[in-house]
Structure formats: C-alpha cells, structure tokens
Amino acid sequence: MIRYDILKTLLPIISDTLVVCNIGLPSQELHKLDDQPSNFYMLGTMGLCSSIGLGLALSQPQKVVAIDGDGSVLTNLATLSTIANNVADNFVLLIIDNGSYGSTGDQPTYAGRKTSLTAVAEACGCENVVECSAEETAGAVKAALASDQMTVIVSKCESGNVAVDVIEMNPVVIGDRFMNEVRRQNSGG
Amino acid sequence: MANAIDRKIVDDLIKNEIGFITTVPCKQLAGVIEVLDQSNQVMHVPSNKEDEGMGLCAGAYMGGKRPCIIMQNTALGVVVNTLATLIQFYQIPLPMLISYRGEVGEKVACQVEMAVHTKALLNQLAIPTYHFSHADQVGELDGILKHTQMAKKPTAILTDARFWGSAQ
Ligand SMILES: [Mg+2]
C-alpha cells in the first residue's frame, strides 16, 4: 500500500475531523479524494504540518489529525519534543512513513534507512506512540481518536504516488473555509 | 528579574487578546518570558526554532487564538520561507516581538553580523517594522498590535539594548 491507498482507507474516519495535511502530494491526494472544509491544505512551508496541527489542537477542543510525512518530520525533528511536552489529548499526529521524499521524486529519506521516527518520538517523551503497517493505519487512527489521548502514529508504507493536480484554491480561501469549520464545530453546529 | 516594562509589554499583549505565545529565548527577553509564565490568561508554548514556532502560531490562529512570537533577530535567518509561504500567503496576523541584538550597546561582536541584515530582510519581505530604542516607545506597542490584527500581516517590533537599558 502507498500513501494514496492509506488515505482512501482513512476517509470514513477523518472526513469530518479537522485535518492538517502536509505540503505537496499528500494535500493534493487528499484534495482529490475528499475535499472538505475540515481539511487544511498546506501549499508551502516544508516541515510545519505537525506544528500547525499542535497549535490548532492546543487552541480549541475539537479533535485534530495532522497527516504528516517522514521527510517533513525529519525537517522539523524537534517538533516531537514540543508535542511531547505540550500534551493535547485531542491531537493525533499521523506520520505516513514511506521512507522517501514523495513529492520530489521519491528520493530516500533517513527514516527509510537507519532512523526510526517511532524511537525518536518515544525518546522525545511522547507517551502514546504506535508503529503500524499501512493496512493497520485506519484502525490505529480510529483507536487514537477514540482514546482521548494524544497519539503519534508511524505508518510504515510503500513509496509511491498517483497522478494528481496541484491545488488551485487560494490560500486565504483554504484558511477562511477551514476557520469557519473550526468555529462551526466548536459552536456545536 | 522582570521589571515594569516587561509587565507593561505582557499587559498590552493580553489587552489585545493575544492568547497564544511561542518563544525562543533571548537574554533581553527573559523578563517578558518570566511575566508570561506567571499569567494564566495566555498560553505559552516554547518552541525549539522560530519556524516551528510560526507553525504553532498559524495553527493557534486557525483555532481562534491571536498568536504572537517572541524571538531574536538572528532568527530572521531561519524564518524567511515560513513568513512568505505560510504567514503572508495565508494572511495570518502575527506580531513578532524581537530582541534586536547587535545594535548600539551590544557586547557580542558576532551579533552585529545579523543586525546589519535585520532591517534589510524585513524590508525585502515588506514587513511593517518598528524599532524601539528608548523605553518611552513601549507606548506604541498597543497601537502596533491593533494594526497587526487589522492588516492581517506579520509585523516586527525590534527592541534593542538601549530600549531595554533605558527601562532599568
Ligand atoms: Mg515520505
């Protein structure tokens, strides 16, 4: 299974959940599969998906799933220490670890070699770290959302992408639509 | 030890409904950070690096809190991409309270090397920039914070050694 297959299995679980999605192909694939006001697409800024997700989770009570990648987390590795030390039990960080920089031509990352992001997350102090296969990922995300405990999931999957279009939505429209959805969910609407 | 100007700065932030602050420390900002940590009206999440901090701020803004980042001017070497592609591209209001190291009164020569680029970088990024070099100028902070929300832009408040020194 590649990331696109995992995203498909996640849709029934995350479709209505606030999602912050990593730059490049992950956002483009999610946008193609299931464009929702509850999706925040990153159009730039490599590495900050987990940080945006944590800031959002700390600032309001609705559940937040950040769909990040191994290359992105390696770019911003200290984020795992910030996450560990600022516990938001409404936050799930899903690292889709395909061992490659998917959006730039599948060059290998160190996570696909000697480096274990699971072990790094644990060493940073994250208390609920789950490493799973691609097939197990949807179940792991469902369980994490139900647990009311901040969880980091490292989903080990195959490298590969599908052909998708770039997102042509204006960033301010993405942000405004998303913030309206955050407000709607928090007003019980 | 925090003093009156540190409390004045934090009071202005709270008065302007800043609810989320991330910091990367600087000696000149230690008093402000100390006062922040005593307040329960604002969430303080220290970050390891300033681009990470701006990611936290973007998330907090979308979660309904007004963010602020407190950092050193050397960090402008880290955050150019994040300012352009996240904070400016998505129009997020973000006051940056910046310790302006390397200005008159500086004791560490290396700090001057980034000080000479600080305003040029901010100017290149078209970021509204305010330079405080005397404690009296802290009176402008309230207006700058309101201006930041209105404009939905990052703004830079540079506070140099003379500013902090004149506040003793
Ligand atoms: Mg990858």
Set of chain B residues whose Cβ sits within 8 Å of the Cβ of A44: 81, 84-86, 89
**pTM greater than the 0.90 cutoff:** yes
Instruction: Please tell me the distance between residue A102's alpha carbon and the centre of ligand 1 in angstroms.
Output: 5
**Domain chopping of chain B, boundaries:** 4-166
Give mean pLDDT, residues A148-165. Answer: 96
* Chain B residue with the nearest C-alpha to that of A19: B59
Q: Do B82 and A20 touch (CB under 8 A)?
A: no
* Chain A residue with the nearest C-alpha to that of B66: A59
B130, burial (CB in 10 Å: exposed 0-12, middle 13-18, buried 19+)? middle
What is the bridge-based pairing of β-strands A100-101 and A107-108? antiparallel
* Ranges under pLDDT 50 in chain B: none
Q: Do B60 and A47 touch (CB under 8 A)?
A: no
Would you state the structure tokens that stand for residue B51, as one six-digit string?
Answer: 């681009």
Say how far apart CA A126 and CA B47 lie, in whole Å. 16
In terms of residues, how long is chain B? 168
Q: Is A45 left (phi over 0), alpha (psi -120 to 50) or beta?
A: left
- Bridge partners of residue A97, in order along the sequence: A156
Q: Which residues, in sequence order, are CB contacts of A148 under 8 Å at separation 6+?
A: A89, A90
Say how far apart CA A50 and CA A118 lie, in whole Å. 15
Which of B42, B49, B62 to substitute to test the interface with A, most A CBs within 10 Å?
Answer: B62
Q: Are B59 and B90 in contact (CB under 8 A)?
A: no
Question: Phi and psi of A20, rounded to 5°?
Answer: -110, 120
Q: Is the ipTM of this complex over 0.90?
A: yes
Give mean pLDDT, residues A147-160. Answer: 97
**Domain chopping of chain A, boundaries:** 3-186
pLDDT for the residue A189 = 65
* Chain A residue with the nearest C-alpha to that of B91: A172
Q: Do B48 and A57 touch (CB under 8 A)?
A: no
Strands (E), B24-150: 43-44, 66-72, 94-99, 129-132
Please name the member of B51, B67, B89 whose beta carbon is closest to the beta carbon of A43: B89
Nearest to A52 by CA among A91, A11, A15, A13: A91
Tens of pLDDT, residue by residue over A13-22, are 999 999 999 9
Instruction: Please tell me the distance between residue A187's alpha carbon and the centre of ligand 1 in angstroms.
Output: 36
Which of B52, B81, B88, B94 to substitute to test the interface with A, most A CBs within 10 Å?
Answer: B52
Per CATH, the number for A3-186 is 3.40.50.970
- A82 CB within 8 Å of a chain B CB: yes
Q: How many CB pairs under 8 A join A and B?
A: 119
Set of chain B residues whose Cβ sits within 8 Å of the Cβ of A125: none
CB count, 10 Å around CB of B22?
Answer: 25
Q: Are A173 and B54 in contact (CB under 8 A)?
A: no
Instruction: Choose the CATH number for B4-166 among 3.30.70.20, 3.40.50.300, 3.90.1300.10, 3.40.50.970.
Output: 3.40.50.970
Give mean pLDDT, residues A4-24. Answer: 97
Tens of pLDDT, residue by residue over A93-145, are 999 999 999 889 899 999 999 999 999 999 999 999 999 999 999 999 999 99
Which of the pair, B26 or A189, is modelled with greater confidence?
Answer: B26
What is the bridge-based pairing of β-strands B66-72 and B18-23? parallel
Q: Are B66 and B149 in contact (CB under 8 A)?
A: yes
Q: How far is residue A31 CA from its own chain's centroid?
A: 14
Instruction: Please tell me the distance between residue A99's alpha carbon and the centre of ligand 1 in angstroms.
Output: 5
Q: Are A120 and A77 in contact (CB under 8 A)?
A: yes
Q: Are A114 and A127 in contact (CB under 8 A)?
A: no
